[in-house]
Structure 1
């Protein structure tokens, strides 16, 4: 059962599906959590709302009474909450019944201030631990146990993380801490996901040439949690072509080098980095991408700062915060 739930509950969508299923088995814990009056409770999953899709819309006697958006790892992006608000106002759902449901009370990047943060995923699951429905009770107990374990992993050694959800929680905490201390002018991406959908924190500073960029995610994240975390220091032109980015990286190669960053950051970061004296550039061209620099087509190009496998959250915060400060030293032309 534990293995099965680990495979089945890996994404925000999976956990939203579970909450919906538990409410179908026994709506009473959800009624209690939402403080709803007596009546027939129903839940719509991925409900169409004003051009978007809300994770969970709760109905009482057929009328919409609450909306829940589950954000376990990702941040708020685009105009999704503006669409939800327009829909909620048209249905008479007050702000107090619009719930942004996270894994805990940590801030969600770009969260709307008027949405309630009263509910959490583990808090909702705990409500079904006393359900009169045997299946709901069993599933919620096992799921809460799994969620508690994953959340406990987020501060520990990175090489002991069990799945991508653990990484998402870890990087959300890292983003919140480092964003609070980042130099003025630092911009954080809201999604906290890479283009391929993996947990990722990306930040940048506008420069005369375009942008100086720092990001952190797993090395080869498609391989799961078996690889270390990597910080990339990159430059990007406004054209964002590989040729233009590569030319800009050539001009600032010394600044982009891993060893330059490590010297700037000092011994506290040096001890966290694999091969701190290396330059962090490609040693041989790959089949894809720029022949000399790590990066993305249409994105930045630069160096790789590979962190040691067992670095914990505090170490990751130390290294990424230093990278954000380093961006502010980007050389003028």
Structure 2
């Protein structure tokens, strides 16, 4: 957008907006690195005007998402125009071979009325996206808006060059398959593309049935004993779920509870062995296995290795 810091300062001054040199550097670096700029301050301090002035200085467009309590994803992302879809159905009678082709057309981009997030991504040149009063949005909106935008509305193609625009959903409105993120977009040291170290391929559909709330409480109670890493690994391995309340049926729930309790017995055994060999030897074994604490054991395999090491040390101590 700007050739240099001086170029930015001159163009901002031309719009009638003057800021200190440090802030000018911050704005320039954010534009150069294509990173968001978070502004905090009281009303009237010039936060919104800065975005307007930067857009004017860059001779580009500004999209504004005004946040408030209860703002919906449709407001931010956009929504399908149902009246236009109905009108299309009326005028296209007898022109389609099957229902599948009708659905494909109805879910086309021309029937979608974009909100500010999508308009900003689709703009033909870099623009300024102003998200005003972000602190007022509900947690659910903040967590789900971009996820839904990428998986269900096709915005992922702008971020990751996905070949498919739409993600097929099963009868439970769950993705049948997940788009693969390119190698360059994965965190360093993670080349598998899996969402969890124990993750396998997710089945296209899972039989859903009633679950027992008491068993859910039992499962959640194991988190304190096992720690988040192992707790999450067991949930994902056994039920392909991220939280106990999301386990789809009673059988999987019982399997998760049993696996959690087996792992908890392993932790209890490790603690008992630690008392036998003494604190010094116990800490030495933790350091050797690169385990920070008993509630931060990274994997089930690490727990098994820890118990084996402690058993060997306890045997040597007893001898």
Range into which the TM-score falls when normalised by the shorter chain: under 0.3
TM-score normalised by structure 1 residue count: 0.27
TM-score normalised by structure 2 residue count: 0.27
Ranked by relative contact order (alpha carbons within 8 Å, sequence separation 6 or more), the top structure is 1
Which structure shows the higher strand fraction? 1
